Amino acid sequence: MKTLLPALSAFLLHQTSAVELPDPLVCIDGSRITTAAEWREKRRPELLELFTREIYGRNPGRPEKLVAEVFDRDPAALGGKATRIQIAIHPGGKPGPRMDLLVYVPNGTKGPVPAILGLNFWGNHSIHKDPGIRLTESWVEEKAGHYADLTGVRNNRATEASRGGNSRQWPVEEILSRGYALATIYREDVAADHEPHFASGVHPLFPELQKGDDNFGGIAAWAWALSRGLDALEKEPAIDARRVAVFGFSRLGKAALWAGASDERFAMVISNESGAGGAKLFRRGVGEDIARLNTVFPHWFAKSFRKYNGKDKELPFDQHFVMSLIAPRPLYVASAIDDKHADPEGEFAGAKAAEPVYRLLGADGLPAESWPAADTSVQGGIGYHVRSGIHDVLPFDWKCYLDFADKHLK
Where along the sequence are the contacts to ligand GCU (CB under 6 A)?
Answer: 250-251, 275-276, 288, 341
Annotated active-site residue 250? The verdict is yes
Crossing angle between the packed helical segments 44-51 and 251-262, to the nearest 10 degrees: 140
303 contacts 366 by C-beta, under 8 angstroms: no
Least distance (Å) from ligand GCU to the CB of residue 341?
6
CA distances to 158, 359, 401 from 352, rounded to whole Å, are: 41, 11, 18
Diameter over CA atoms, the chain: 61
Which positions ≥6 away from 248 have C-beta within 8 Å?
A: 118, 119, 222, 254, 255, 256, 257, 270, 271, 272, 274
User: Which one is catalytic: 125, 385, 391, 408?
Assistant: 391
Q: Which of 245, 118, 113, 238 is nearest to 179 (CA)?
A: 113
Q: Which of 341, 2, 1, 25 is nearest to 11 (CA)?
A: 25
* Rounded-to-integer distance, Cα 94 and Cα 63, Å: 13
User: Which one is catalytic: 250, 271, 274, 304?
Assistant: 250
What's the DSSP call for residue 371?
P
333 contacts 351 by C-beta, under 8 angstroms: yes
Least distance (Å) from ligand GCU to the CB of residue 269?
16
* Rounded-to-integer distance, Cα 353 and Cα 356, Å: 7
For 80-194, list the strands marked E by DSSP: 82-90, 99-106, 113-120, 181-186
How many CB atoms lie under 10 A from the CB of residue 37? Answer: 9
Least distance (Å) from ligand GCU to the CB of residue 123?
16
21 contacts 284 by C-beta, under 8 angstroms: no
| 295 versus 376: smaller Cβ distance to ligand GCU | 295
Host H or E run for residue 357: helix 355-360
117: which strand partners?
A: 183, 246
How many CB atoms lie under 10 A from the CB of residue 61? Answer: 10
Host H or E run for residue 243: strand 239-249
For the chain, the first-to-last Cα distance in angstroms comes to 44
Which positions ≥6 away from 234 have C-beta within 8 Å?
A: 241
The set of catalytic residues is: 250, 391
